[in-house]
Amino acid sequence: MDGSTVKTAVRLREIMAEVLELDPLQIDDSFARDGVPSWDSLGHLRLITALEEAFGIRFTMKEVGELDRFSKLHERLSR
Amino acid sequence: MEKQRDSKPDVRALAEALAAAQTPGALRAALAHTELDKLTANETSVLSRALHAWGAPPDVKIAYLGNFTLDLLPCAVDVACAKEGLRTASYVGPFGQYVQEVLDEGSTLVRWQPDFVFLALSLRLLRPDQVAAFSLLSTTERRELREEVAAHLESWATAALDRLPATLLLTNFAAPTFPLAGVADTKAEYGETELFLDLNLDLLRRFKGQPRVRLVDAERLTARFGKERVVDRKMFYLARMEWSPAFLPVVAGELVREVTAVKGLTRKCLVLDLDNTLWGGVVGEEGAAGVKVGHGDPEAEAFLDFQHRLKALQSQGVLLALCSKNNLADVVEVFETRPELPLQLADFAAREICWDPKHEGLRKIAAALNIGTDSLVFLDDNPAEVSLVAQMLPEVKAIVLPPDPAEYAGVLEKLTDFERPAVLAEDRGKTEQYRQNREREDFRLQAGAGGGGGDLGGYLASLRTELEIRRARRDDLERIHQLFHKTNQFNVTSHRYSLADIERCVTGHQCELWMARARDRFGDLGTIAVVLLKQDGRSLLVDSLLMSCRAMGRGIETALFNHIKTRLLEHRGLLEVRARYLPTARNKPVENLFESHGFRVTETRSQGEKLYALGRGDARLESCDWIHVLAEEMAVPGGR
């Protein structure tokens, strides 16, 4: 990982922890939506909105449906 | 931290301040400089969470119902309400179940007993087939669609009013940004443009007469924000979110106005500076002819417009006052030589034109108008004056006008402090009533100085007060609600009843709701007092007894007490009248009211609360021959 993707990961972890009301330490590289109560459909929308606001990007509808784990979000945001 | 200082508020520090805030003043102070539309949705939810950190009891409970996703709205409303010092509790109904929620007696909504129920419906989700095929519908079908939707809302509102004591906030329908028929739509037989105008007009007229249903104008709010930005299409398809997160602060801002108005948190008086506030330039330098206000010059036009808007505020019942460092003669000259100006000296209910510090002027103005300094808003172009007032009288809302008079009108538009649920006859005549009060005061001083009629009894008799006491009716509800919420000084229990509570008092059998109207030689004082009596076994309970401050000091209370005693004596089944005094920061004037009308203290509780009783055998009517109590109804000026 180069410096910018590390920075992205830190930022992403921070936002996910804040929106989903979790300890950032819980959000490791394998962290996924399955079984996280606060990452329900509303939590997902809030997360998507927060990431779009923070990174100044727009996800497509298809992406919103697919981005269900930390690694995928990180990969998409590092592009 | 460094990088946040330039543009963004430090949300974390703000969240900490909100979590630590114990009082309404602390909430207001923490958010005083935060513009809610500058916050992201995530920041708003962080602040909302901080507001609920220590489970402080809410001032207002709001339920959100609709047929599209409204889950992000409560956070925005929480923060917007906190900016006005109010704590909220929210309930978002299950998606789309707004009908079931009000029809089912045991629903979470009905059990939760909200103060407000907000309902927002999307037309394309309500009638998807008709909206999708709108261009194929016949004119008749289009008209039927309008009728059907309006009737649906009305029957929902009827059911909700029946089940809940809440005030309903009903959103109307925003017309699409681009009609399907394009520019030809306005030439169509009942096109989209006409449908939406007609539907919204229909809704407005259906609910205008029902004080507990308030229309939230989505058409206006979406236009204010920019219609194209209201819908985030992706979010609509993904999550049935008809309103984008960025639009929510606008909706929240409007809801705060509704809450402020309905809860009677309206401030009473707008105090204005003169130079560079009501006109351009300094009258002491430029002279009466030199100050800018009027036609023919852009700055003068802006001041003229500002004066027109202030005049409009005044006509809705806001008192205007002047607090200016000037020579009185210069100021009088401006008004005397410019009779064409919308605001004249007589429009100001109180004036402090001298060289004293302004916080002293504001105190004197509040005293002269018999209102608290927390009822004042103060506008001045000079930041130093405003900052001194803010420091000396933090309860006053003190606002610095922007450097360019072009922006003055916008300052008034942003103010939520003067919102009221409806403008009543009593509001319209407000300044006139205060003018009459000044005449009464002059008259009283003269009577005192004149020697001959210098006694209080003689003065009261010479006022020739007439009083009508009668049972309250349905069409009195709004004024009585206003009195319950606005009366601070002459108010023995300060219960702040909702419209629905008062409605029940009018229709129920256990309560007697009385109201009093007064007039005297100087004019009409309108409805000035409310007495709420409840029968409790063989006792008559004085639940509420309150009187507008403008009617105080003329012995009207004696007539009210005679009325209460008469109710006891007339009703053979009753043994006594019981009453209670609940002290507040403001109701010292009625601390010994019951004692002085023959009541006996039966119990003294902590913090000065007192219980009273008056037995049947001790109830004696007192002489109050200075008041003429009318047997028949007075005519109501202004037609209400």
Q: B3 pLDDT exceeds 50?
A: no
Strand-pair category, B213-216 with B269-272: unpaired
Q: Which residues of A touch B234 (CB under 8 A)?
A: 58-61, 64
Quick one: B461 and B414 in the same domain? no
Would you place residue B431 in the very low, low, confident or very high pLDDT band (cuts 50, 70, 90)? confident
Quick one: B635 and B514 in the same domain? yes
pLDDT at B632: 60
Quick one: B241 and B142 in the same domain? yes
How large is the average pLDDT for residues B419-438? Answer: 82
CA B518 vs CA A1, B444, B459, B488, B531: distances in Å: 82, 18, 17, 19, 14
pLDDT at B8: 57
B129, B133, B136, B142: CA torsion to nearest 10: 60
Q: Do residues B326 and B361 lie in contact, with contact meaning Cβ atoms separated by under 8 Å?
A: no
Closest Cα to residue B540, out of B577, B492, B571? Answer: B577
Task: Render pLDDT for B319-376 as a digit per residue (tens, 0 to 9).
Answer: 999 999 999 999 999 999 998 899 999 999 999 999 999 999 999 999 999 889 999 9
Query: H-type helices in B240-357, by residue range?
Result: 248-262, 283-286, 298-315, 328-337
Task: Render pLDDT for B532-561 as a digit per residue (tens, 0 to 9).
Answer: 999 999 999 999 999 998 888 888 999 999
> Could you list the residue range(s) of the whole structural domain that residue B611 is in?
451-639
State the nearest Cα–Cα gap between A45 and chain B, in angstroms: 8
pTM of the model: 0.83
Q: B640 pLDDT exceeds 50?
A: no
- The proportion of chain B whose per-residue pLDDT surpasses 70, expressed as a percent, equals 96
Task: Render pLDDT for B617-628 as a digit per residue (tens, 0 to 9).
Answer: 999 999 888 899
Task: Render pLDDT for B491-518 as a digit per residue (tens, 0 to 9).
Answer: 999 999 999 999 989 888 889 999 999 9
Quick one: B238 and B328 in the same domain? no
Tokens of B439: 């005449």
Mean pLDDT is lowest, of B39-43, B196-200, B480-484, for B39-43
Would you place residue A42 in the very low, low, confident or very high pLDDT band (cuts 50, 70, 90)? confident
State the nearest Cα–Cα gap between B123 and chain A, in angstroms: 23
Q: Which residue has the higher pLDDT, B510 or B471?
A: B471
For chain A, the first-to-last Cα distance in angstroms comes to: 13
Round to whole Å and give the CA distance between B202 and B235: 30
Task: Render pLDDT for B583-592 as a digit per residue (tens, 0 to 9).
Answer: 998 899 899 9
Q: B450 pLDDT exceeds 60?
A: no
Quick one: B458 and B374 in the same domain? no
Class of domain A3-78: mainly alpha
Q: Residue B635: give its domain's CATH number.
A: 3.40.630.30
pLDDT at B105: 87
Quick one: B245 and B367 in the same domain? no
Q: Is B89 helix (H, G, I), strand (E, B) or coil?
A: strand
Tokens of B480: 């009585």
For chain B, the first-to-last Cα distance in angstroms comes to: 58
Task: Render pLDDT for B598-612 as a digit per residue (tens, 0 to 9).
Answer: 999 999 998 899 999
Residue A61: which of B40, B49, B237 has the nearest Cβ?
Answer: B237
Q: Is A42 part of the contact surface with chain B (CB cutoff 8 Å)?
A: yes
Q: Is B586 inside a domain boundary? A: yes
State the nearest Cα–Cα gap between B124 and chain A, in angstroms: 20
Q: Which residues of B touch A61 (CB under 8 A)?
A: 234, 237-238
Round to whole Å and give the CA distance between B253 and B439: 41
Quick one: B597 and B492 in the same domain? yes
Q: Is B26 inside a domain boundary? A: no
pLDDT at B9: 64
Q: Do residues B514 and B472 lie in contact, with contact meaning Cβ atoms separated by under 8 Å?
A: yes
How large is the average pLDDT for residues B249-259? Answer: 97
Which of B223, B239, B262 is the C-terminal boundary of a domain?
Answer: B262
- The proportion of chain B whose per-residue pLDDT surpasses 90, expressed as a percent, equals 75
Quick one: B154 and B294 in the same domain? no
Quick one: B461 and B585 in the same domain? yes
Q: Is B582 inside a domain boundary? A: yes
Which of B244, B262, B280 is the C-terminal boundary of a domain?
Answer: B262
Q: B445 pLDDT exceeds 90?
A: no
Which of B212, B235, B262 is the C-terminal boundary of a domain?
Answer: B262
Q: Is B20 inside a domain boundary? A: no
Give chain B's domain count. 3
Q: Is B30 inside a domain boundary? A: no
Q: Is B551 inside a domain boundary? A: yes
Q: What is the DSSP string of B158-204?
A: HHHHHH--SEEEEE--PPPSS-TTGGGGGGSTT-HHHHHHHHHHHHH
Quick one: B340 and B282 in the same domain? yes
Q: Which residue has the higher pLDDT, B188 or B432?
A: B188
Q: Is B136 inside a domain boundary? A: yes
pLDDT at A79: 86
Q: Is B387 part of the contact surface with chain A (CB cutoff 8 Å)?
A: no
Q: Do residues B379 and B270 lie in contact, with contact meaning Cβ atoms separated by under 8 Å?
A: yes
Q: Residue B185: give its domain's CATH number.
A: 3.40.50.1110
Q: A residues 8-27 near B, CB within 8 Å?
A: 15, 18-19, 21
Quick one: B130 and B182 in the same domain? yes
Q: Do residues B63 and B91 lie in contact, with contact meaning Cβ atoms separated by under 8 Å?
A: yes
Largest interatomic CA distance in chain A: 33
pLDDT at B586: 87
Determine whether the interchain pair A42/B71 forms a contact, defined as Cβ–Cβ distance below 8 Å.
yes
Quick one: B463 and B416 in the same domain? no
Q: Is B289 inside a domain boundary? A: yes
